[in-house]
Structure 1
Amino acid sequence: MSVNVITNTKKLLPGLALCGLVTVAAFALESLETHLFGRAWLESLVLAILLGSIVRTCYSLNPRFDAGIRFGAKMVLEIAVVLLGVSVSAGAILDKGADLIGGIAIVVAIAILGSYYIGRAAGLPSKMAILIACGNSICGNSAIAAVAPVIDADGKDVAASIAFTAVLGVVVVLVLPFLVPLLSLSPVQYGIFAGLTVYAVPQVLAATGAVSMTSAHIGTLVKLVRVLMLGPVVLVLSLFGRKESGLRPPLSQMVPWFIVGFLLLMVLRSSGLIPQFAIQPAQISANFLTIMSMAALGLGVDARSVLKAGGRVTVVVILSLLVLSVISFCLIKLLGIA
């Protein structure tokens, strides 16, 4: 057993080391920005994604880096999300009431239907339209991975869908903060908006962390509620969708372990069961691991993959994202959230 652990660790080290180098470079560039301009226009969270993506796109990485990069983009970010629960109080979202939680569910449902029909109108196959709709509306690659076996999706459709959510997810993270002054969004409003529109939990952190901690906390909570919609969606598809193989995704895909961990730590923090001295180290660790996972996320994104998937899919994904953004903004205004 110990030999296997050592072997697996050695496989991860090159990729994790590369992620670490990109993370350090992101911190260094943020410091340089602050020194030159008096403030950091691009936070280390965003810089890590950009640098990682540039490296992946411009250089042909040795396959020995792949295992560590995948580990960083998945396990490291999941651990970071769990630790983030220490710094979040459940009262932050409960104070907004059941209306917001119900509104999130409605937004997800409308966005899935809207995205699906946009895809079909553009001539995409039904299964690919479902993949894109669920990826856009719930949680990007995780939703696509969970839905694919339920609808017996073709491997090429899955690959194309994941390629677009990966690349466009990075674009959304970079663009979204600029909407704060354009739409006159408060930190709470922006947190909700980002939580409803950004694909993945760590990308919510990247999109909101550069704005304010309030936005990051609210955005993460809203995003986690949105991710929890994956369970009911997969269940509905498995019950009413066309099935040939009879496969069902495991429970871990419907309710990922890191969401359970985040919620558990959030409850413990809200109940006062986590010692005060442990909160700051957990926050620092969560921040560093989040940025490292951003580096891994960027290292897994080759911008050229967009060109391979075709213009039709690009249009469908962008239109679906615009629909989701409009619905999310309307929900914020309808609920009168300040």
Structure 2
Amino acid sequence: MPLLKRTSHIVPGLVLCSAVALAAYLGERAEMNLFGGKWIESLVLAIALGIAVCTIRPLPDSFRPGINFSAKILLEIAIVLLGASISLAAIRGAGVALIAGIAVVVVLSIGASYTIGRLLGLPPKLATLIACGNSICGNSAIVAVAPVIEAGSEEIAAALAFTAVLGVAAVFLLPTFYFDAGMSIPQYGVLAGLSVYAVPQVLAATAPVGVLAVQTGTLVKLVRVLMLGPVIFLLGILVKAETGGEDARTGYHHSLVPWFIVGFLATMALRSFGLIPEQVIAPMAAVSTVLTVIAMAALGLSVNIRSVAHAGGRVICAATLSLIVLGTISYGLIAVLQIP
């Protein structure tokens, strides 16, 4: 009973976030039924629906504790579970040169994207979110990096919304580029794996070219996703070093690296060493996805749509230029490695 009393205040907001997440899932399912594919993922739909609810009718204060719990605690748990879906064994067949090249592309892309965002007047945290989302794995990277740098709800929503738009655009444009540029199938697979945000989008972009392109693109993409662990680890160290390990808003002293980063790396290591049973990995990934969508609904319910709209032009410009830079760097790697 004491536990119920202590947690009852989060119930209204948690229920609301769950309801918005369910509506997002139903919207994604409707897309599948109508169009045979999901053009807008439930994660982005949850944010959009949350913003719509918050805009149409301001929420009572009684919902705020549950919304904050969903946006922070549930998201951090989801990040820990996400580590179980990444295995270091995925890179064994890629070769040292390609692995090193992918790491260099990620580092250069993050630096270039962040610089572009700052030159366009974006706040440092928003520029960081766009840089990491663009350079690593789109929505997943943004979601994982956001709590590390303590980004605001509006910054997260803006980064996710415009990155999602570009991710869909890349799926349509890349196959056209392949046919016009005269690239080989392996070259195109590497380019798609390096420049497309999500694994399903890589599959969609490479499928028109053939099975070899799909296999190559997926492998490169998985190696690129593995860069998420080191990036959030380093960001955690940098942020805590700048703040002295103290939250400027509360004055509370944190450990050097947030717990969920350690948890993410730990579950990734357990998966890599075969200590997580294979039959458990899919359910863990499913729970991670559900918690993430609920957390995104909470973020949407915390967003002032006017602030997102105000940043829209600069954000889409920064994201677009960053994607072009990423594509250019990736094309350069293909030339340097002389991929046939």
TM-score strictly above 0.5 = yes
Query: 2:327 aligns to what?
Result: 329
**Alignment check: 8 A CA contact 2:40 2:164 kept:** no
**Residue type matched to 2:21 in 1?**
T
**Alignment check: 8 A CA contact 2:68 2:298 kept:** yes
**Count of residue pairs brought into register by the alignment:** 293
CA distance in 2, matches of 1:12, 1:188: 46
Query: 1:271 aligns to what?
Result: 273
CA distance in 2, matches of 1:334, 1:41: 30
Query: 1:249 aligns to what?
Result: 245
CA distance in 2, matches of 1:118, 1:36: 39
Query: 1:193 aligns to what?
Result: 195
Residues 163 and 32 of structure 1: is their aligned pair in 2 closer, same or farther, counting only changes over 3 Å?
Answer: closer
Query: What SS does the corresponding residue of 1:335 show, helix, strand or coil?
Result: helix
Segment of structure 1 superposing worse, 20-29 or 315-324: 315-324
**Residue type matched to 1:271 in 2?**
F
CA distance in 1, matches of 2:262, 2:190: 24
CA distance in 2, matches of 1:143, 1:266: 16
Query: 2:181 aligns to what?
Result: none
CA distance in 1, matches of 2:278, 2:146: 39
CA distance in 1, matches of 2:110, 2:44: 26
Query: 1:302 aligns to what?
Result: 304
Cα deviations across residues 168-194 of structure 1 (Å, max 9, x unaligned)? 432322442221221338787556435
Q: 1:76 aligns with which of 67, 74, 77?
A: 74
Query: 2:215 aligns to what?
Result: none
Residues 62 and 220 of structure 1: is their aligned pair in 2 closer, same or farther, counting only changes over 3 Å?
Answer: farther
Q: 1:173 aligns with which of 159, 164, 172?
A: 164
**Alignment check: 8 A CA contact 1:104 1:226 kept:** no
Query: 2:231 aligns to what?
Result: 226
**Alignment check: 8 A CA contact 2:117 2:318 kept:** yes
CA distance in 2, matches of 1:220, 1:8: 38
| Runs (5+) with no aligned partner, structure 1 | 120-127, 149-157, 196-206, 239-246
Query: 1:284 aligns to what?
Result: 286
Query: What SS does the corresponding residue of 1:304 show, helix, strand or coil?
Result: helix
CA distance in 2, matches of 1:145, 1:34: 31
**Alignment check: 8 A CA contact 2:14 2:70 kept:** yes
CA distance in 1, matches of 2:129, 2:290: 27
Compute the displacement of 1:41 (Å).
3.8
TM-score (norm 1): 0.70
Compute the displacement of 1:269 (Å).
1.1
CA distance in 2, matches of 1:32, 1:132: 32
Cα deviations across residues 26-48 of structure 1 (Å, max 9, x unaligned)? 22223333334444443333322
Query: 1:46 aligns to what?
Result: 44
TM-score (norm 2): 0.70
CA distance in 1, matches of 2:117, 2:50: 29
2:118 maps to 1:116? yes
**Alignment check: 8 A CA contact 1:146 1:249 kept:** no
**Residue type matched to 1:171 in 2?**
F
Query: 1:137 aligns to what?
Result: 131
Query: 1:201 aligns to what?
Result: none
Query: 2:107 aligns to what?
Result: 105
Compute the displacement of 1:223 (Å).
3.6
CA distance in 2, matches of 1:92, 1:70: 36
Query: What SS does the corresponding residue of 2:305 show, helix, strand or coil?
Result: coil
Aligned sequence identity (%): 32
Compute the displacement of 1:231 (Å).
4.5
Query: 1:23 aligns to what?
Result: 21
Query: 2:261 aligns to what?
Result: 259
Segment of structure 1 superposing worse, 65-74 or 322-331: 322-331
Compute the displacement of 1:18 (Å).
0.7
Query: 1:124 aligns to what?
Result: none
| Runs (5+) with no aligned partner, structure 2 | 133-140, 179-187, 205-217, 247-252
* Ranges of 4+ aligned residues in structure 1 off by more than 6 Å: 139-148, 185-188
**Residue type matched to 2:264 in 1?**
F
Query: What SS does the corresponding residue of 1:66 show, helix, strand or coil?
Result: helix
Residues 265 and 212 of structure 1: is their aligned pair in 2 closer, same or farther, counting only changes over 3 Å?
Answer: farther
CA distance in 2, matches of 1:21, 1:133: 31
**Alignment check: 8 A CA contact 1:108 1:229 kept:** no
Compute the displacement of 1:17 (Å).
0.4
CA distance in 2, matches of 1:68, 1:327: 40
RMSD: 3.8
CA distance in 1, matches of 2:269, 2:147: 29
Query: 1:90 aligns to what?
Result: 88
Please show how residues 305-324 of structure 1 align to structure 2 within 5 Å: 305-306=307-308, 316-324=314-322
CA distance in 2, matches of 1:147, 1:285: 24
Segment of structure 1 superposing worse, 39-48 or 285-294: 39-48
**Residue type matched to 1:69 in 2?**
I
Compute the displacement of 1:259 (Å).
2.4
